[in-house]
């Protein structure tokens, strides 16, 4: 039997995430207790292409989704019949990949006779901070830094996000992935660049920090990526081969990373000052980066702001962060039967 909002019975949610290259399912309660969170990564399938191949991602989601759901239910020690609500990230992302999750969620909700809730993947990245904190974090400035997005939001509640500014070209994670390809560090690029940078000198190259002294809350990482390419290969970029291990490569990685970190920390500081808010919540894969976490901590301390960054497992794509669905459930904001995947948002 379905428990309605406001009754004493616990409602169990099953959430699905298939927006990019992680197939994920999670079980949580209407009190935001996460009972299980399972993520099947497709990294190995995409590595030899140096990036996510949409068609491969969709097919891998098709293969993995039901086993991942079974695993999430088993780890939560409940069965499908106990599920009172199904949630799914339906936007933004790769359209074919999103469709797998949306179709499965619709079928499950219809088959079980329970409500379906559509959740925005970017909003969920911010909500991951709320989950990890175990207490209210709103109102706050939200920074989402992932492979697909780099944007600052004013978040008055978990469900109201006003865009303060985003990237004009590449997302920060995309820049990490492209620079990793230039340096021959493999895929996914973020963790590889971070590892390489640990042995490098962040001041070896003075790479551009776009808009850093400009009040606009916008980002641009494409010029930075090009600057790394020229610093690495000189003018002859067409015949260039990756530099191979050594100090040169480590210095390029460290100098690149330091430019990204400086810009992200400065823009967060400007957003806190502009909004007058004293809380910063950070989500998305790039927030797993340790130098970024350290820089944001130092900045927030100086500004007298509280910083919320989830543990690594909640930074990268997962379905537990879709617990944002509980907020919508409380409002009765259910998805229509003809819910569709929406690849674009913003
Ligand atoms: O949020 P996410 O898992 O997927 C998207 O929604 O895009 O973010 C993936 C991105 C990738 O670009 C990856 O290279 C980057 O996050 N990333 C990192 C780190 N770990 C993952 N970037 C920098 N440092 C890291 N440690
Ligand atoms: Zn994401």
pLDDT in tens, 144-158: 999 989 999 999 999
Is the pTM higher than 0.85? yes
202 lines ligand 1 (CB under 6 A): no
323 shares its domain with 300 = no
- 190 is known to lie in a ligand binding site: yes
Ligand 1 proximity of 142 Cβ (cutoff 6 Å): no
In a domain? residue 336:
no
> 144 and 116, same structural domain?
no
Ligand-binding annotation for 146, yes or no, is yes
Count how many domains the chain has: 2
Do 167 and 261 lie in one domain? The reply is: yes
Residues 246 and 278 in one domain: yes
Provide the pLDDT for residue 346.
Answer: 76
Same domain (yes/no): 191, 284? yes
Non-local CB neighbours of 134 within 8 Å, separated by 6+ positions: none
Q: What confidence tens digit (pLDDT) does each residue in 10-60 have?
A: 999 999 999 999 999 999 999 999 999 999 999 889 988 888 899 999 999
State whether the beta carbon of 170 lies less than 6 angstroms from ligand 1. no
For residue 213, the domain's CATH number is: 3.30.420.40
d(CA 172, ligand 1 centre) in Å: 8
Does residue 148 line the site of ligand 1, with CB under 6 A? yes
Q: Does residue 93 line the site of ligand 1, with CB under 6 A?
A: no
Whether residue 27 sits in one domain with residue 176: no
What average pLDDT does the structure give for the chain? 94
Q: Does 213 belong to an annotated binding site? A: no
Q: What's the rounded mean pLDDT across residues 244-272?
A: 96
Query: Is residue 7 included in any domain, yes or no?
Result: no
Tokens of 87: 């949630």
pLDDT at 7: 64
Whether the bond into 38 is cis, omega within 30 of 0: no
How many angstroms separate the alpha carbon of residue 247 from the centre of ligand 2? 32
| Residue-range definition of the domain harbouring residue 292 | 136-315
With respect to residue 2, please indicate whether it lies within any of the assigned structural domains: no
Q: Within the chain, what is the greatest distance between any pair of CA atoms?
A: 68
Ligand 1 nearest atom to the CA of residue 257, by list position: 23
Same domain, 242 and 252: yes
- Mark whether 175 and 31 lie in a shared domain: no
Within-domain flag for 294: yes
For residue 5, what pLDDT band results from cuts at 50, 70 and 90? low
Is the CB of residue 345 less than 8 Å from the CB of residue 120? yes
Instruction: Say which residues have a Cβ less than 8 Å from residue 48's Cβ, sequence separation at least 6.
Output: none
Ligand 1 atom 7: residue of nearest CA: 147
Domain presence at residue 322? yes
Does 256 lie in the same domain as 183?
A: yes
Q: Are 278 and 250 in contact (CB under 8 A)?
A: no
On whether residue 340 sits in a domain, the answer given is no
Q: What is the pLDDT of residue 1?
A: 42
Residue 315 Cα: closest atom of ligand 1: 1
Whether 297 and 320 share a structural domain: no
92 lines ligand 1 (CB under 6 A): no
Ligand 1 site-directed mutation target among 21, 176, 285, most atoms within 8 Å of CB: 285
Q: Which ligand is nearest to the CA of 322?
A: 2
Residue 4 domain flag:
no
Distance CA 179, CA 202 (A): 15
The answer to whether 318 is annotated as binding is no
- β-pairing verdict for 160-166 and 306-308: unpaired
Range 260-278 burial, b when 16+ CB lie within 10 A, else e = bbbbbbbbbbbbbeebebe
- Print the SS3 string covering the chain: CCCCCCCCCCCEEEEEECCCCEEEEEEEECCCCEEEEEEEECHHHHHCCCCCCHHHHHHHHHHHHHHHHHHHHHHHCCCHHHEEEEEEEEECCCHHHHHHHHHHHHHHHHHHCCCEEEEEHHHHHHHHHHHHHCCCCCCEEEEEECCCCEEEEEEEECCEEEEEEEECCCCHHHHHHHHHHHCCCCCCHHHHHHHHHCCCCCCCCCCCCCCCCCCCCCECCHHHHHHHHHHHHCCCHHHCCCCCCCHHHHHHHHHHHHHHHHHHHHHHHHHHHHHCCCEEEEECHHHHCHHHHHHHHHHHHHHCCEEECCCHHHHCCCCHHHHHHHHHHHCCCCCCCCCCCCCCCC
Indicate whether 275 and 184 sit together in one domain. yes
Q: What is the pLDDT of residue 3?
A: 54
Burial of 119 (0-12, 13-18, 19+ CB in 10 A): buried
Does 121 appear as a known binding residue?
yes
What is the mean pLDDT of the segment spanning 245-253? Answer: 95
Q: Has residue 339 been placed in a domain?
A: no
- 218 among annotated binding-site residues: no
Distance 137 CA to ligand 2 centre (A): 20
Q: What per-residue confidence (pLDDT) applies to 241?
A: 82
- Same domain for 168 and 248: yes
Contact 112, 40 (CB under 8 A): no
Residues 6+ apart with CB under 8 A from 74: 36
Instruction: Write the pLDDT tens digit of every residue in 89-143.
Output: 999 999 999 999 999 999 999 999 999 999 999 999 999 999 999 999 999 999 9
Query: Ligand 1 within 6 A of 21 CB?
Result: no
Any atom of ligand 1 within 6 Å of the Cβ of 188: yes
Q: With contact defined as beta carbons under 8 Å apart, do 141 and 272 qualify?
A: yes
Report whether residue 284 contacts ligand 1, using a CB cutoff of 6 Å: yes
Residue range 64-75: average pLDDT? 98
Find, among 166, 170, 88, the residue nearest to 345 by Cα: 166
């Amino acid at each position: 039997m379905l428990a309605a909002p406001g009754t004493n019975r616990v409602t169990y949610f099953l959430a699905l995430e298939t927006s990019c290259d992680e197939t994920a399912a999670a079980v949580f309660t209407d009190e935001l207790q996460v009972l299980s969170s399972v993520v099947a990564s497709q990294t190995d399938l995409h590595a030899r292409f140096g990036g996510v191949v949409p068609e491969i991602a969709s097919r891998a989601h098709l293969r993995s989704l039901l086993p991942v759901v079974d695993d999430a239910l088993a780890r939560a020690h409940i069965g499908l019949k106990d599920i009172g609500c199904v949630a799914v990230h339906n936007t933004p992302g790769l359209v074919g990949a999103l469709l797998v999750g949306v179709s499965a969620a619709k079928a499950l909700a219809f088959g079980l006779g329970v409500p379906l809730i559509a959740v925005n993947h970017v909003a969920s990245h911010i909500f991951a901070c709320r989950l990890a904190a175990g207490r209210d974090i709103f109102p706050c400035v939200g920074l989402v830094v992932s492979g697909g997005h780099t944007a600052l939001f004013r978040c008055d509640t978990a469900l109201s996000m006003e865009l303060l500014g985003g990237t004009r070209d590449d997302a920060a994670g995309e820049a990490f992935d492209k620079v990793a390809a230039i340096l021959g560090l493999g895929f996914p690029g973020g963790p590889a660049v971070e590892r390489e940078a640990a042995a490098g000198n962040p001041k070896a190259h003075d790479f551009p920090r776009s808009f850093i002294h400009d009040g606009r809350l916008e980002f641009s990482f494409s010029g930075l990526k090009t600057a790394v390419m020229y610093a690495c290969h000189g003018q002859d970029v067409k015949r260039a081969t990756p530099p191979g291990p050594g100090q040169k490569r480590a210095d390029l990685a460290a100098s690149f990373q330091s430019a990204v970190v400086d810009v992200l920390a400065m823009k967060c500081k400007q957003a806190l000052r502009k909004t007058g808010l004293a809380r910063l919540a950070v989500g998305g894969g790039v927030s797993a980066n340790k130098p970024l976490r350290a820089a944001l901590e130092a900045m927030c301390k100086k500004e007298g702001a509280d910083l919320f960054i989830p543990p690594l497992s909640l930074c990268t794509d997962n379905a537990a962060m879709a617990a944002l669905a509980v907020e919508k459930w409380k409002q009765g904001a259910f998805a229509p039967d003809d819910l569709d995947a929406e690849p674009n948002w913003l």
